[in-house]
């Protein structure tokens, strides 16, 4: 039997439709219910971590940047539909260590034992992981483990995301 795999834009549009209808959280909740029902309840705690998603750096004038920071869209962006489609007025800059980042950040809550994503969120790059922790998991239930021991169980989740993103550019 031959199956058809949808392309990136089809998946993106589907995800956007779910999100706009408020069904993404409902779907994740139902998925979690099924996991619990079949014995995949969280066991050894959870970890929240994030991964930067870079977008093309903007080459705006100082005036345009000032308008964007005030929540406005510069007039010359809206006057030219093609220019507006190339500008990302929601992305943000941040610095982590010696590296500068511009874009967004994927935050996930992952189960330490099962390595299953239990929650997620997307913010601008400047939002620290600790600021979304309570959105994911209001009660601290992780056992008192060494941070590196817990982190090493989860890092492959981000490795898979990064490999998937890299593969898009190779294809």
Q: Are 106 and 53 in contact (CB under 8 A)?
A: yes
Mean local confidence (pLDDT), 54-74: 89
Contacts of 102 (CB under 8 A, 6+ apart): 54, 55, 57, 58, 91, 92, 93, 125
Can you give the residue ranges of every domain in the chain?
Answer: 1-41, 42-55+92-171, 59-90
The residues with which 120 forms a beta bridge, in sequence order, are 108
Residues in the chain: 171
Q: How confident is the model at residue 168 (pLDDT cuts 50, 70, 90)?
A: very low
User: Would you place residue 142 in the very low, low, confident or very high pLDDT band (cuts 50, 70, 90)?
Assistant: very low
Categorize the per-residue pLDDT at 20 as very low, low, confident or very high, splitting at 50, 70 and 90: very high
Would you say residue 82 has pLDDT above 50?
A: yes
Of 9-23, 42-56, 96-110, 146-160, which gets the smallest average pLDDT?
A: 146-160
Phi, psi of 128 (to 5 degrees): -75, 150
């Amino acid at each position: 039997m031959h199956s058809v795999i949808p392309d990136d834009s089809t998946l993106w549009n589907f995800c956007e439709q779910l999100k706009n209808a408020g069904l993404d959280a409902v779907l994740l909740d139902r998925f979690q219910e099924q996991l619990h029902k079949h014995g995949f309840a969280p066991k050894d705690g959870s970890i929240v971590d994030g991964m930067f998603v870079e977008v093309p750096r903007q080459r705006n004038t100082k005036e345009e940047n000032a308008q964007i920071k005030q929540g406005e869209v510069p007039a010359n962006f809206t006057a030219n539909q093609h220019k507006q489609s190339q500008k990302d007025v929601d992305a943000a800059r941040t610095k982590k260590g010696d590296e500068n980042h511009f874009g967004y950040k994927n935050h996930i809550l992952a189960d330490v034992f099962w390595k299953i994503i239990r929650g997620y969120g997307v913010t601008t790059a400047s939002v620290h992981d600790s600021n979304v922790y309570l959105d994911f998991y209001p009660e601290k239930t992780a056992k008192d483990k060494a941070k590196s021991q817990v982190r090493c169980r989860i890092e492959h989740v981000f490795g898979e995301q990064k490999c998937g993103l890299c593969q898009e550019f190779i294809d």
